[in-house]
Amino acid sequence: MKFYALCGLGGILSCGLTHTAVVPLDLVKCRMQVDPQKYKGIFNGFSITLKEDGVRGLAKGWAPTFIGYSMQGLCKFGFYEIFKVVYSNMLGEENTYLWRTSLYLAASASAEFFADIALAPMEAAKVRIQTQPGYANTLRDAAPKMYKEEGLNAFYKGVAPLWMRQIPYTMMKFACFERTVEALYKFVVPKPRSECSKGEQLVVTFVAGYIAGVFCAIVSHPADSVVSVLNKEKGSTASQVLQRLGFKGVWKGLFARIIMIGTLTALQWFIYDSVKVYFRLPRPPPPEMPESLKKKLGLTQ
């Protein structure tokens, strides 16, 4: 339990801090998705926001971002470690190795399902604060107002599109990261992981995190566009928004998101792994074929 609790703490730090750090970029990205006529590009979006709201305007929505993503990080990383063990025990040692990519995908999808339920209320408040001028400037103003207008539904109506966005994203984030780390140690790093220093191992973590992040951004971007528009508008459904945006519309702001998510994912893995190093938690080496399986396949001498 202590191991899972510390993994959860690593998740809180890695998701809460990184998402809060990129609030200005996230704010401009949301505004580009919701009002593309006014905010035409990243730099244009930044200059308009600075002109209208000043430097403080760029930090709008930092509180729901920090609280929401800390809760999400706790569930995402904590449950991922739990589900990985649960599913691995169900499969047995040999199948765990053979089916490891599927295991990463299943464990991360299961963890994200719960993580999004924790994130949804704060995500809804954040989008309102960032994209509706004059609605509310702080979480303290926004939450009661949303509850008064639409009840609890206001906070959870975005949970299904959030699953559409976050579950593919997280599956990519974990599976792609785990396999990239494996590939880097196999083909790129000139010595085995056991001989690498902690610092060198964390560099590999960062690089693998960035590569995973780029794929994450592409996979989850269409749903992200839908979430931004949906939380802003009252009474729309996800399919209506999707039809209206069309194929080109859902890819708006992709470049901003690749930079944001790439950096974010790399930093999240870096912080998470650093927490594991700091607390001396077990960090399993890249998976190797179990001896019993080697014998079966005739790979042992």
Domain count, the chain: 1
What range does the domain containing 203 cover?
1-297
Over its C-alpha atoms, the chain yields an Rg (Å, rounded) of 21
Lowest model confidence (mean pLDDT) among 59-63, 109-113, 186-190, 297-301: 297-301
The pLDDT value given to residue 155: 92
Of the chain, the end-to-end C-alpha distance in Å amounts to: 40
| Calpha distance 60→42 (Å, rounded) | 17
Higher pLDDT, 44 or 288: 44
* Residue 203: strand, helix, or coil: helix
Share of the chain above pLDDT 90, in %: 57
Given a cut of 90, is residue 11 above it in pLDDT? yes
pLDDT digits (tens, 9 = 90+) for 229-263: 776 776 777 788 888 888 888 888 888 888 888 88
Lowest model confidence (mean pLDDT) among 11-20, 143-152, 228-237, 283-292: 228-237
Given a cut of 90, is residue 15 above it in pLDDT? yes
In terms of Cβ atoms closer than 10 Å to its own Cβ (0-12, 13-18, 19+), residue 86 is middle
Given a cut of 80, is residue 211 above it in pLDDT? yes
Where does residue 17 fall: left (phi above 0), alpha (psi -120 to 50 degrees), or beta otherwise?
alpha
The pLDDT value given to residue 146: 93
Q: What is the DSSP letter of 12?
A: H
The pLDDT value given to residue 300: 65
Given a cut of 80, is residue 51 above it in pLDDT? yes
The pLDDT value given to residue 256: 81
Other CB atoms within 10 Å distance of the CB of residue 244: 11
pLDDT digits (tens, 9 = 90+) for 261-288: 888 899 999 999 999 999 988 887 788 8
Per-residue pLDDT band at 171 (split at 50, 70, 90): very high
Share of the chain above pLDDT 70, in %: 98
Per-residue pLDDT band at 301 (split at 50, 70, 90): low
Confirm if 106 and 174 have CB atoms less than 8 A apart.
no
The CATH number assigned to the domain holding 28 equals: 1.50.40.10
- The rounded mean pLDDT for the chain is 90
The pLDDT value given to residue 194: 87
Query: Which of 31-45, 139-153, 154-168, 242-256 has the highest average model confidence (pLDDT)?
Result: 139-153
Averaged over 56-85, what is the pLDDT? 94
Given a cut of 90, is residue 89 above it in pLDDT? yes
Averaged over 153-168, what is the pLDDT? 88
